[in-house]
Structure 1
Amino acid sequence: MNVSETVTRWRYRIVPDQVLGELLAKRWIDNAIPVLILLLVIATFGAAIPDFFGGASLGNLSRQWGEFGLLVLALMVVMVGGGIDLSVGSTFALGNIVALALLNVAGLPLPVVVVGTLLCGAAVGLVNGLLIGYLRLRAFLTTLVTLIIVRAIVDLLLLTYSVQIAAVFPDSDTWFYLGEGTVLGIPFSVIVAGTIALLLHLMLSRTRIGWHVMATGGSRRSAYNVGIPVRRTVCLTYVVSGIFSALAGLLYASRLGGAGADTGIGLEIAALTAAVLGGNSLGGGRGSAAKAVIGSVIVMLMVNSLVRLGVTSGANSLLLGTVLLLAVAIDVRWLKNRHKLLTEVYVSPTYAALPPAPGTDPGSPYALNDRLRPVEAIGLDRIDGPEDVILDEDDNLYAGNRTGDIVRFLAPDYTRQEVFAHVGGRPLGMAFAADGALICCIGGMGLYAVHPDRKIEKLTDETDRSLFSVIDDSRLRLADDLDIAPDGRIFFSEATIRYEMHEWPVDSLESRGNGRIICFDPATRTTRTVLKNLVFPNGICMTHDGVSFLFAETWAGRISRYWFDGPKKGRTEAVIPDLPGYPDNINRASDGSYWLALVGMRTPSMDLALRMPGFRRRMARRIAPDEWLYPNINSGCVIRFDENGRVLEVLWDLGGESHPMITSMREHKGHLYIGGILNNRIGRLKIEGADPDWTGPQSYWSAA
């Protein structure tokens, strides 16, 4: 290994390239920029203003935030639904004057005042909702007109009732508590805003109406086509906005107890700045309560800090306008380029140097031959992609297909077939349990059991999450093969935690340790990860000692053994570290050895590319996936080996004329049954010298 290659090896071992892509793939990454801005604002003004973090300062600021935060939440709801509401400032002022008029002038009880104020806000929102949602008027122009009209109504109410409002001092502790009270030292308005933010988060992320709002904001036409009541949904967002704005005005009235002509003026710009700065998209369909809270805190800190520093109100408006322009630019560019950037950096090949490939010349254990040429075809053109095959004690043959079925070919001639179970997903590795249930790994779904009565049961679709994993690796993406220990525990492999079933070529391109082996215990119904950082683990077989299993790592071209019990518990040892191809499923043979399928053959060009991660990265970015460099998958090969890694027998089908791309094989009563994920048939080959009475289920469960 030369110096350059050594440097490359250590560079890719030390630097976790995949982390950047995994971070960009997270939904919460949208909050990264707002959080950084928030920290910058706190640091800047905290250093510039004495007693910035004092109790009195934070208490006064938090009361104002409670009211302003409600306005931003109101605007956020509308923006997520694909609209905009410029009338929130005027509705805030309306809520303020109506609350004071109902309490001081009309002398109504406080509950009636609260309900009446909220109804006024809801009425404004309903007008907006009807005009925009049902009559399909432009949201910007409509709410601009509403702003003007509501502001005119507020001015008229001020002219009529301002003197009477100022002349009365309400005798109600509850009223003053709304604006000035605390709960465990936290202002009541903050409690209200925080509770509403939490409820909005749950609604948008966990409820049907929340999904409707998000879908409507994302694409109204698509939402309509799938049956979502778009007009009603849009209308409701404006009603909610009006209620929240009026509630903010109510809290403001309780805190200050007065109304003025300038109340609420400019608040719509501040609220819009906060909503966009927090990461809520002007285009709709992307936003959250957390983003609204972050944005509102940033704007509130900026505005109040500038006031404390003696900056004029004109400079405040200039700053808000500049920040809004910057936030809109960031939003547009981020939305436009995020997925492009993610595509550029998510696929992150690593340095992977395989041992020298063994030769296939005469005299080599892997010497070429044509022993797979006599393979018979079962179900030719009647099955699509039988990745794994298995037989029961009655000699019936089972295989999964691409359409989500487990197909059963009936013995003895296998000319008749039936759908044994429709499991969905992509049925992959299979094994029979002691009770006769067929356990199956289903790509994209997890681990399932099909009982003898054909009842389908989900065993598990998740495992324990890694403590320091950026991505959520608790969900099973590509469970692909399994075997069952004598005590009933099921050990199964998950080929990759980064990619889905149809994206396996990308994992091949990375050749990174994205895979793992997982254990499901039926006795306790618990699932845990046993081995991590494996290079596409894709084949598991219990050894005859009952305390260890063999497993294949496809892109690493090796077979290893892991002890899950006994004196060597927790140890992993290499069995065959240098295969001439890429291993897939492993299964028992009748003489105590093991069968192994090679899904493809190593080539010098692919081996060289594995040591050139930069080349593979450029290939992924610049070339269509169907033109990537791939291993040779046109030559079928099956190997028989013992537990010490000694190769006993090799069966080749050069050129794949009889059975290309072999992914599995099962010995059963003197015959070898062969599956392939890209094949349209199941192969059968008579094995000379094999035990004509030996079956897989008998090998596992005869003593059970």
Structure 2
Amino acid sequence: MKSLQRAWHRHSPQLFLGELLEKRWMEPIIPFTLTIAVFLAFAIMIPRYLTAGSLQELMRNFAEQGMVAVAMAFSVLSGGIDLSVGAVFAMSNFLALYLYLILGLPLPVTIVLVVLFGAAMGAINGGLIAYGKTRPFLTTLVVLIIVRAAYNKVTVAFTNELASIDSGSSTWDFMGSGRVLGIPFNMLVLILLAVGTHFFLTRIKPGVHIMAVGSSRKAARHAGVNVKRVLFSAYVMSGAIAALAGILYAARQSSSGTDTGVGWEINALAAVVLGGISLAGGRGTIARAVMGAAIIFMLTSGMVRLGISGNLTTAIIGIILLLAVGFNVKWVKNKGKVLQKVYVTPSWVDFEPPPSVERGSGTPFAENDRLKNAEAIALNMIEGPEDIILDRKDNLYTVNRNGSIIRFLAPDYTVREEFARIGGRPLGLAFDRDQNLLVCIAGMGVYGVKPDRSVFKVTDRTTRTRTRLKDDSRLYLADDLDVAPDGKIYFSEASTRYELTDWALDGFEGRGNGRLICHDPKTGTTRTVLKNLTFPNGICISHDGQSVLWASTWLCQINRFWIAGPKAGTSEILIDNLPGYCDNINRASDGKYWLAFVGLRTPVYDLAMRNPVFRTRMVKQIPPDEWLCPGINYGCVVKFDDNGVVTESLWDPGGLSHPTITSVREHKGYLYIGGLENNRIGRIRLQDADPTWEAHKSYWGRA
């Protein structure tokens, strides 16, 4: 029974559900589901609905409505509304017919002039709204009334001419009825338009500015965005897209009636809302607008083909849209809450009783006072020195919580200077052969600082796990690193599910969310070497350069991955069942290794790790400040050898000076101590250590 429970918690379907809900494209799941449901329903009810001819006709009739919805989406995403799109569409339809078929202008000239007309109508809207500070609803409503009135006048005036037109142009006919690979031409234009505008709004600066202004005009203004110009451009594009739809409609229908485009602005607005685009602006996508338009179009055309009367059709569509919008609003509002409920998925972790840490117990982990009187360096001059390192000139480097690398100058370390400002939250440090200081940065990847203080990016991506729904190619939580004799950089990514602010949640899960990654500076390639690791943390290349030692914090293990020799490519557990949660590993002068304990195991927490249901309820039902956590108010450092034998430990009982120790470095007879929550760097003299030993010589000799 226990084996089944372990397997269930280790491979819980909740993992997939959590990653599915995390995807941004899950926000429009209601309109997407409704689109599929409506399509399938009519496919069942209407004979020959799925034939090629029927589908082509549906696409041909839908394309212009989809474009008008895209036009409306531009104005809504900018934080406004454009009620004139239906009238601009109708007038553009007339102008295309008049300029090309009556006046005989060349088709390219006609297209340009009509699109310019739509852009001009958008410019009137945008100019009044952005620079005249008028209300979008009233402004575009007035433009709607004026353009619609003008359209009705010119349509009546040119009734005879419009009735007798004949294109006589294969290009014009192809625009109206042609197909490309079986797809109607106007539908192909809609697809290209949707893809292009999506790319524009998400990748191109002017488009991104439209989304920013829609989200918060004040924030966009403070970020240096020209809000007025952005609003103006959004309405210009809205008008131009509506005009393009009018041109294609003219080519398809070759007629212009008084009812052309009537009510299309309402349908477009309904499509935008149904697709989940916020009327407040700044949230949504072009795809959502197209989905909303498709739902409305399929409902309307399907009801007609089923022979349902017009009034009943309108009522049924209204009820369906009302319910769909209600569900969609509820879903968008509560999606985050649902995700919080299901995302954290604890696994089953079995722990054996750890070795005793009681004072006088006789184990190498027995509590003592060897760190209690450690010298305090940089007291109150540093925040959270998670890792520390020294260069060949004995200068001391550490990371600061504000995103900078701080250097304290030898010999007394009283002079503090900002060596480099990188940003993010710097964590692990390492020097390469050329004395470039390499640093892992949470949320950013691996960066480097040259001796002249210039900052460069090493890598921020690795190979993606193709079997996962979540794109894990971006580095979420690069933690610690070291450099192999061949120059390759090995570093740990503690978690691919959680960022630094939520690192404790990874501990509550206790599953393999991390990985070991290798970057080769010679080729510039980065690849994942080991995956599904449980919070891999400290990284250290062994003294012989044959293997990588890495610490699994939540499993309290030290592991070895062979990178050279007969065992190359294989892994093994070097030390298991440690009494503390291990962090960074670094070389010692006697051929052994120093290991920092960020916290100590407790019987209660060990019991909780064997009970995933308890941890799930704790995360869901109890405030974070009341969660059960490991004991981190202890200061402890241990030393072990290449055979995994722990030989000694150094303690600061109660963690008065050095709680949450995350790093220890030996340098010329001293041991330097860093911690994630500390305001100092500790230093003690090692009585039996080589006073001339330094890490750079250990790695690179005297180079």
> TM-score, length-normalised on structure 1?
0.94
SS in 1 for 2:526: strand
Secondary structure of 2:28's match?
helix
Alignment match of 1:264 (pick from 248, 261, 265): 261
Query: Cα deviation per residue 1:606-643 (whole Å; 9 max; x = unaligned)?
Result: 22222233333333334433332222112111111112
Q: Is the 8 A contact 1:276 1:324 kept in 2?
A: no
8 Å Cα contact 1:370/1:653 also seen in 2: yes
> Is the aligned partner of 1:56 residue 2:56?
no
Q: Does 1:566 align with 2:558?
A: no
**8 A contact 2:31–2:328 mirrored in 1:** no
Tell me if structure 2 keeps the 8 A contact 1:216–1:223.
yes
- Do the aligned partners of residues 108 and 670 (structure 1) sit closer, same or farther apart at CA in structure 2, a change above 3 Å counting? closer
Matched, 1:417 2:416: yes
Report the alpha carbon displacement of residue 6 of structure 1 after superposing the two structures with TM.
Answer: 5.5
Could you tell me which amino acid in structure 1 is paired with residue 507 of structure 2? Answer: S
2:470 counterpart SS class = coil
Look up the match of 2:156. Answer: 159
CA deviations on 1:191-211 (whole Å, 9 max, x unpaired) are 322222122011101111111
* AA matched with 1:480: D
1:530 — aligned with what?
A: 529
Contact 1:276 1:327 in 2 (8 A): no
User: What is the match of residue 290 of structure 2?
Assistant: 293
User: Conserved in 2, the CA contact under 8 Å of 1:270 and 1:320?
Assistant: no
Aligned to 2:39: 42
Q: Aligned residue for 2:447?
A: 448
Mapped to 2, the partners of 1:355 and 1:528 lie a distance apart of 34
Work out the CA distance in 2 between the residues paired with 1:448 and 1:222: 30
Task: Please tell me whether residue 173 in structure 1 is matched to residue 170 in structure 2.
Answer: yes
- Contact (CA 8 Å) 1:355, 1:577: kept in 2 or not? no
Corresponding residue number in structure 2 for 1:247:
244
**Does residue 353 of the first structure (1) align with residue 339 of the second (2)?**
no
Aligned to 1:218: 215
Take 1:365 and 1:221, find their aligned partners in 2: how far apart are those partners?
60
CA shift digits 1:274-293 (9 cap, x unpaired): 33333323332122222233
- The answer to whether the 8 Å contact 1:75/1:84 transfers is yes
Are 1:276 and 1:331, in contact at CA under 8 Å, matched by a contact in 2? no
Equivalent AA in structure 1 for residue 531 of structure 2: K
Which residue number corresponds to residue 482 of structure 2? 483
- 1:99 equivalenced with 2:96 (yes/no): yes
What per-residue deviation string (whole Å, max 9, x for no partner) do you get for residues 67-92 of structure 1? 22211111111121122223322222
User: Contact 2:27–2:335 at 8 Å: present in 1 too?
Assistant: no
Contact persistence 1:669–1:692 (CA under 8 A) = yes
Return 5+ residue gaps in structure 2 as ranges: none
In structure 1, the residue matched to 2:507 is 508
Q: Which is further off, 206-215 or 29-38?
A: 29-38
Q: How many Å apart are 1:263 and its aligned residue?
A: 1.6
Which string of whole-angstrom CA distances, capped at 9 and with x for unpartnered residues, describes residues 209-264 of structure 1?
11111112212333233332333322332222222222222221221211222222
Q: Which moved more, 1:169-178 or 1:398-407?
A: 169-178
Name the structure 1 match of 2:190: 193
Using the alignment, how far apart are the partners of 2:347 and 2:13 within structure 1?
Answer: 9
Write the letter of the residue equivalent to 1:258.
S
1:610 aligns with 2:609: yes
Whether contact under 8 Å (2:385, 2:680) holds in the other structure is yes
User: What is the identity, as a one-letter code, of the residue corresponding to 2:662?
Assistant: T
Name the SS for the 1:441 alignment partner: strand
Query: 1:295-314 residue pairs with structure 2 within 5 A?
Result: 295-314=292-311
Aligned partner of 2:74 in structure 1 is: 77
Q: Residue type matched to 2:25 in 1? A: W
Partner of 1:673: 672
Q: CA deviation at 1:11?
A: 2.6
Q: Which stretch shows the higher mean deviation, 104-113 or 587-596?
A: 104-113
Change (3 A) 1:453 1:144: closer
Report which stretch shifted further, 265-274 or 255-264. Answer: 265-274
Could you tell me how far apart the structure 2 residues matched to 1:415 and 1:580 are?
36
Measured after TM superposition, the shift of residue 553 of structure 1 is 0.7
Equivalent of 1:10, from 7, 10, 35?
7
Tell me: CA distance 1:438–1:130, structure 2 relative to 1, closer, same or farther (3 Å). closer
SS at match of 1:663: strand
Q: Which residue of 1 aligns with 2:405?
A: 406
Contact 1:273–1:320 (CA<8 Å) still a contact in 2?
no
Q: Shift of the alpha carbon at 1:586?
A: 0.8
Q: Deviations over 1:550-593 (max 9, x none)?
A: 11011111111111232212222112111111000111112211
Q: CA deviation at 1:668?
A: 1.7
Structure 2 partner of 1:597? 596
Provide the rounded CA distance (Å) in 2 between the counterparts of 1:82 and 1:152. 27
The structure-2 alpha-carbon separation of the partners of 1:329 and 1:146, relative to structure 1 and needing over 3 Å to count, comes to farther
Q: CA deviation at 1:127?
A: 3.1
Measured against aligned partners, the alpha-carbon deviations of 1:156-186 in whole angstroms (never above 9, x if no partner) come to: 1222111222133243333223212333443
Alignment partner, residue 396 of structure 2: 397
Q: What is the number of residues matched between the two proteins?
A: 701
Aligned residue identity for 1:526: T
Report the CA distance between 1:340 and its aligned residue: 2.5
Instruction: Kindly state the Cα deviation for residue 598 of structure 1 after the two structures are TM-superposed.
Output: 0.5
- Percent identity, aligned pairs only, is 53
Question: Residues 598 and 662 of structure 2 are in contact (CA less than 8 Å); yes or no, is this contact kept in structure 1?
Answer: yes
> Hey, what's the Cα distance between the residues in 2 that align with 1:326 and 1:114?
40
What is the CA-CA distance between 1:7 and the residue it aligns to?
Answer: 5.5
CA distance 1:404–1:117, shift in 2 (3 Å):
closer
Deviations 1:459-489 (A, max 9, x none): 1111111112222211112211111111111
Rate the CA distance shift 1:566–1:298 in 2: closer, same or farther, 3 A. farther
Structure 2 CA distance for aligned equivalents of residues 477 and 108 of structure 1 = 58
Q: 1: distance between equivalents of 2:321 and 2:392?
A: 72
Question: Is the Cα–Cα contact under 8 Å of residues 273 and 323 in structure 1 kept in the other structure?
Answer: no
CA contact (8 A) 2:387 2:398 kept: yes
Offset, 1:673: 1.2
User: Hey, what's the Cα distance between the residues in 2 that align with 1:412 and 1:90?
Assistant: 78
**Counterparts of residues 264-283 of structure 1 (less than 5 Å):** 264-283=261-280
Q: Which runs of 4+ in 1 moved over 6 A?
A: none
Deviation at 1:101, TM superposition (A): 2.8
Distance in 2, matches of 1:580 and 1:598, equals: 9
Of 530-539 and 224-233, deviating more is 224-233
- After superposition, the C-alpha distances for 1:290-338 in whole angstroms (9 at most, x for unaligned) are 2233333333333223222222232332233223323332332223222
Aligned to 1:231: 228
Q: 1:270 to 1:420 in 2, by over 3 A?
A: closer
Flag structure 1 segments of 5+ consecutive residues without an equivalent: none
Per-residue CA distance 1:34-61 (angstroms, 9 max, x = gap): 3322222232222222222223222222
Aligned residue for 1:433?
432
In the alignment, which residue of structure 1 is the partner of 2:624?
625
